[in-house]
Structure 1
């Protein structure tokens, strides 16, 4: 598909988010994601009930998520990629089509 087809068929602006799921994962995948973000100096923040935290231990975050809402926002190529710590075996990211306004993005 070319950019126009992707923009019109996937990232059309209808007010909803686009979900990206990584299925059949484990906590090691989150560790790889954090390692990748750190080693490539990609800005991101982890939140607990909306408050930024420095906790990066995946097992600890998954334990906390039983009592609180845990999220991650990755700032990549002027796009906010929002992730959620629902369970150890599924990773979900959301992106807003509004932010996809060029072929580069």
Structure 2
């Protein structure tokens, strides 16, 4: 029964966090600095959640870092998401095999 109450409280808190800004801030935000900050929040949160997982997803942090470097380089080259992911996977595979030989 207590699990139900925990879920109910968590749902309520999540709802309030999303509902309050929508109801309290109905005018367009004019401050350029605040708008810029709010624009980059999703990207910063995504990076903060995925970066630790990237470095711990493989057997060796060396192969994870190599794949990260390759993925960033391929991404900056303007390639699509599937190409970036495929290049990162191939990099992990090759580096893991090279590390196994050593």
User: How does the TM-score come out when normalised to structure 1?
Assistant: 0.23
| Greater percentage in helix | 2
User: How does the TM-score come out when normalised to structure 2?
Assistant: 0.23
- Which structure would you say has the larger Rg? 2
| Greater percentage in strand | 1
